[in-house]
Amino acid sequence: LRYVPKIEFKIDEDLEHQYKLIKIITEVHAY
C-alpha cells in the first residue's frame, strides 16, 4: 500500500512537468 501513493505521486509530478513544458511551448509559439 505504501508503493501506490509513491507511484501516483511520481506520475503526478511527470504530468505537472509535461503540463509546464506544454505551457512553455505554447507561450513560445504565442510570441
Alpha helices in the chain (DSSP H): 3-30
Going from N- to C-terminal start, the domains of the chain cover: 1-31
Three-state DSSP state, 2: coil
Q: Read off the C-alpha cell for 2.
A: 505504501
- Provide the pLDDT for residue 1: 57
* 11's grid cell: 506520475
Q: What is the pLDDT of residues 1-31, one digit of tens each?
A: 566 667 777 878 888 888 899 999 888 877 6
Distance CA 7, CA 14 (A): 11
pLDDT at 30: 74
In this structure, is the dihedral angle defined by the CA atoms of residues 8, 13, 17 and 23, taken in order, positive or negative?
Answer: positive
Lookup: cell for 31: 510570441
What's the grid cell of residue 1?
500500500
